[in-house]
A and B are shown apart, each in its own frame.
Chain A
Amino acid sequence: DIVMTQSPLSLPVTPGEPASISCRSSQSLLHDNGYNYLDWYVQKPGQSPQLLIYLGSHRASGVPDRFSGSGSGTDFTLKISRVEAEDVGVYYCMQALQATFTFGPGTKLDIK
């Protein structure tokens, strides 16, 4: 199975400041079709997870443009250009290259 790691695991951020989360996979997630099969999700307190980014860099419907995904192969980054109070939650990356999907351990973002 592909193993996913994330850093940092805890991320305190001042509102208005940028934030960045790194995700690494044990195998390349770059498919022959040119897409990276990597998603980002956020689980806000008391809520179900929600999709932020799919195929490495595509923002899901309704996701603010302050969220962006980048990277290729085994190294990926989720960036929030200006953190807002509503962005508090746990952020997960997940590989979808192999039909046996795997999540990262999660990064807890909170407000300083």
Chain B
Amino acid sequence: QVTVRESGPALVKPTQTLTLTCTFSGVSVTTSGMCVSWIRQPPGKALEWLALIDWDEDTYYSTSLKTRLTISKDTSKNQVVLTMTNMDPVDTATYYCARISPGPGCSGGMDVWGQGTTVTVSS
């Protein structure tokens, strides 16, 4: 059974850099066909897709946030890491990590989600 758990700071100050970790169990992040996304949801608002990394470590980012985001893998810990620079109060949200089920071109749907980690940006 594949599970995923997000972790990171609950509170960050404006202008700081946020680092979030997504830890997988039951599957290796190096598995061929493995794609992982980060998604966030501000309080009471819709889901917003942020970034994706595939099995070849090709990366893709939200157009509006690409200058602030970096997604990477730590294969020694079976983790996917997201960093977001220059945090602002509007970045307050629950951040989710999700595994994309194998399919042509990371298209199998995000079938395993973590419980999310809530991040508040405030001084």
Chain A positions near chain B (C-beta within 8 angstroms):
1, 31, 33, 35, 37, 39, 41, 43, 48-51, 53-55, 58, 60-61, 90, 92, 94, 96, 99-106
Query: Counting CB contacts under 8 A, is B62 at the interface?
Result: yes
The verdict on A55 contacting B63 (CB below 8 Å), with A48-B96, A48-B115 known, is: no
Instruction: Count B interface residues, CB 8 Å.
Output: 27
Q: In the complex, what distance in Å separates the CA atom of A100 from the CA atom of B66? A: 10
Q: Which of B37, B46, B96 sits near A105, CB closer than 8 Å?
A: B46
Q: Can you name 11 extra interface pairs (CB under 8 A) apart from A101-B37, A103-B47?
A: A48-B116, A51-B111, A54-B111, A55-B107, A55-B108, A55-B109, A60-B101, A94-B47, A99-B106, A100-B63, A105-B46
Within the complex, the shortest CB–CB distance from B90 to chain A, in Å, comes to 17
Chain B positions near chain A (C-beta within 8 angstroms):
37, 39, 46-49, 52, 60-63, 96, 98, 101, 103-111, 113-116
The verdict on A96 contacting B60 (CB below 8 Å), with A102-B49, A106-B47 known, is: no
Query: Can you list 22 A-B contacts (CB < 8 A)?
Result: A31-B105, A39-B109, A41-B47, A41-B110, A43-B47, A49-B47, A49-B113, A54-B103, A55-B107, A58-B109, A60-B101, A92-B46, A96-B106, A96-B109, A99-B52, A99-B106, A100-B49, A100-B60, A100-B62, A101-B49, A101-B52, A106-B46
Q: Which of B101, B105, B107 has the most chain A CB atoms closer than 10 A to its own CB?
A: B107
Q: Which of A31, A54, A99, A105 sits near B109, CB closer than 8 Å?
A: A54
